[in-house]
Structure 1
Amino acid sequence: MIRVLIADDHEIVRAGLRQFISEEPDIQVTGEAGSGDEVMAQLRDGEFDVLVLDISMPDRNGIDVLKLIRQRKPDLPVLILSTYPEDQYAINLIRAGASGYLTKESAPDDLVKAIRTVAQGRRYVSATVADLLIGGLDKPTEQPVHQMLSEREFQIFCKLSRGQSVSVIADELFLSVKTVSTYRSRILEKMGMKTNADLTYYAIKNGLVE
């Protein structure tokens, strides 16, 4: 039996996922979480084979949660389920350690297939993500500039683009203000931008923030 933890801040989404997953004889939802802190609490107290994780969470976002899980539960497969299209987040999150990425518009059968795939220790990559990966190898200069960021740079970029200050980011990530400032400078240089406002504009234009 594949034990699944569902993490999404919308109860109705969790209920829908739980309903169609319960119809599968080999998969069972054994835990639910509505926030990043609840995810970490569940993982401390229970045993799961797959985490289905939304990016948008009310306290810690899915990117922060993914990084924590990779540190504390490195063998746990994490399947990202998001409203954001694959071309915006999938590459960066797979690079950061996600086992797969699906949009919430995907068919239920695709999610079930993805859960089974990652539970076996393999990556689940949709045809769209596969094309993005292949396209990035063939034509690296045509990649969106945020895909050139490292895992930590992308994490901090997302926070800066949402208007968080360097000091707040430093507190959240347990880094020094100087370290975050250095990352900020590196991000701006890599992306060819000068201010946080430029980062926010880019993020909005590319659908990385709502």
Structure 2
Amino acid sequence: MIRVLIADDHVLVRETLGAFVENAGGFELTLVEDLDAACVSMRESRGYDLVLLDYQMPGMNGLEGLSRAMESNRGKPVALMSGVANRKIAQDAMEAGAIGFLPKTMGAKSLVNAIRFMAMGEQFIPVAFMNEPDETEIDHPLAEKLTPRELEVLGGLCRGMANKEIARELDLQEVTIKMNVKTLCRKLEAKNRTHAAMIAKEAGLF
């Protein structure tokens, strides 16, 4: 059984997320309403395989709450979720030690798959979320050469992800990712996937 704690101050959100996880089977689930309750539960138990925290619930104070939770969970994985946080917050959370970041817009199947992945100690953040343009961003000439899907795949390459990891996040077959990599390399005149990522980074696309 995978032991998971979900902390969210909105009852409906908390119970809906909990239902998704319980219906999938194979989980021992604990639901709490704020960071203080989460930390108490973590300390009183032997820690959880994964702790999932709402970024904006009471007690979080931004990423300070993440640090508290990581300490209380005895070094085991802690992830953040949010319905409003932007890409910068997600990146900061990962750099601060979060195992992952989940938008609340994720579907049930993708959410459960992500939870299983993070509980095994693997970092997770949706490629599509990280590749969504900020409102302040302008069109990039390099991006105009690629389809939205190819941009998502390229974003995964820039973060050093393997084809199977990108496929899992995008809910696609690995062979589809391989085809996208081949096509975007041709469009960018890149020798290989590493070269494509280097071209994208040097151009400021990611």
SS in 2 for 1:9: coil
SS in 1 for 2:3: strand
Q: Name the counterpart of 1:125.
A: 125
Q: Name the counterpart of 2:38.
A: 39
Q: Name the counterpart of 1:75.
A: 75
Report the number of matched residues.
142
> Which structure 2 residue ranges, 5 or more long, are not aligned?
132-154, 160-196
Equivalent residue letter for 1:36: L
Q: 1:140: Cα distance to partner?
A: 8.9
TM-score by structure 1 length? 0.59
Indicate how the Cα distance of structure 1 residues 13 and 59 shifts in structure 2: closer, same or farther if over 3 A, else same.
same
Greater Rg over alpha carbons, structure: 2
> Which structure 1 residue ranges, 5 or more long, are not aligned?
144-210
Native 8 Å contact 1:79 1:115 kept in 2: no
Indicate how the Cα distance of structure 1 residues 73 and 19 shifts in structure 2: closer, same or farther if over 3 A, else same.
closer
Q: Output aligned runs, 1:102-117, within 5 Å.
A: 102-117=102-117
Indicate how the Cα distance of structure 1 residues 62 and 109 shifts in structure 2: closer, same or farther if over 3 A, else same.
farther
Q: 1:97: Cα distance to partner?
A: 0.7
Q: 1:115: Cα distance to partner?
A: 0.8
Native 8 Å contact 2:42 2:72 kept in 1: no
Native 8 Å contact 2:101 2:124 kept in 1: yes
Whole-angstrom CA distance in 1 between matches of 2:68 and 2:157: 25
CA-atom RMSD in angstroms: 2.6
Indicate how the Cα distance of structure 1 residues 4 and 82 shifts in structure 2: closer, same or farther if over 3 A, else same.
same
Q: 1:78: Cα distance to partner?
A: 1.4
Percent of aligned positions with the same letter in both sequences? 30
Native 8 Å contact 1:63 1:93 kept in 2: yes
Q: 1:85: Cα distance to partner?
A: 4.7
More helix by share: 1
Whole-angstrom CA distance in 2 between matches of 1:119 and 1:14: 19
